[in-house]
Amino acid sequence: MTVFSSEVEKGRPAGAPEFLAFSPKNGAQVRFYCRPSFWRWVEVEFDPYITNVLANKVTLSLDQRKISVSLQYEAQGHQHYVFSKREVPGDIEGKIVACLENNGIHCEFLEAQCSRDSQVHVENLLYMLSHINKHREIYTEKNLVTAAQAIDRCDGTLGGAVHDLLEKYPDSAAALLFELVRRGRAEISDARCKAIGGRTKIDNVRVRYG
């Protein structure tokens, strides 16, 4: 049994949907062919410890079969492959696990349907990402530090911080705050279980200079 991967896009499976988005991590458009892999990618975008993300750009060859890797990324020094079960034949999952683990690669298999438990969280992340992607030119270090300082001075809520930033950044105040969250320099703990709004608390703000 042989296994190897190559940066070759297999393409959209026949009859599969297509989800398009822009990835701030690699500054390019990404596309997915099932909702679970699209949702998983959104979570990856908001993990500051994950780097070198490839979306549907890697094909795994195993026993003369070609299997698309929905997501490939690095975390804590390890390679991770994420597969959609729609792409993985039922008789080969165990072989994939064995082969990848032997090569020091972690793997994850997404179910065919999205988890209801993660719906609120992902919807919040998508909402934040929509703001982030509209104002990509604003994320200089100086502007991000200013946004972090505004959180420290205000009442610690999303609405309060945005209000303090509106005069200087009338169109991109919320986007700056959400970019801080995406980079791990601020947290919105309630985003995992509640729809975010003006009274949502912002936690663990880290201001950086230089």
Residues of the chain with pLDDT > 70, as a percent, come to: 93
Strand 19-23 and strand 3-6: the pairing is unpaired
Confidence class for position 16, pLDDT limits 50, 70, 90: confident
pLDDT for residue 190:
92
- By C-alpha distance, which of 87, 66, 43, 60 is closest to 4? 60
Residues of the chain with pLDDT > 90, as a percent, come to: 62
How many angstroms from the chain centroid is the CA of residue 146?
24
pLDDT for residue 41:
97
Owner of token pair 């279980």: 193
Rg (CA), the chain: 19
Name the residue type at position 83: F
In 70-140, where does DSSP find H-type helix? Answer: 93-102, 119-134
Name the residue type at position 201: K
pLDDT for residue 210:
42
pLDDT digits over 174-185, tens only? 999 999 999 999
pLDDT for residue 129:
97
Distance CA 139, CA 159 (A): 20
pLDDT digits over 109-133, tens only? 999 888 889 999 999 999 999 999 9
pLDDT digits over 48-93, tens only? 999 999 999 988 888 778 888 999 999 989 999 999 988 887 778 8
Q: Which domains does the chain have, with CATH numbers?
A: 3-113 (3.40.1350.10), 117-192 (no CATH)
Distance CA 68, CA 58 (A): 6
Confidence class for position 20, pLDDT limits 50, 70, 90: very high
pLDDT digits over 135-147, tens only? 999 999 999 998 9
Distance CA 109, CA 88 (A): 9
pLDDT for residue 184:
93
pLDDT surpassing 90 at residue 8: no
pLDDT for residue 198:
92
| Edge-to-edge strands, sheet with 50-62 | 3-6, 50-62, 65-75, 78-84, 105-110
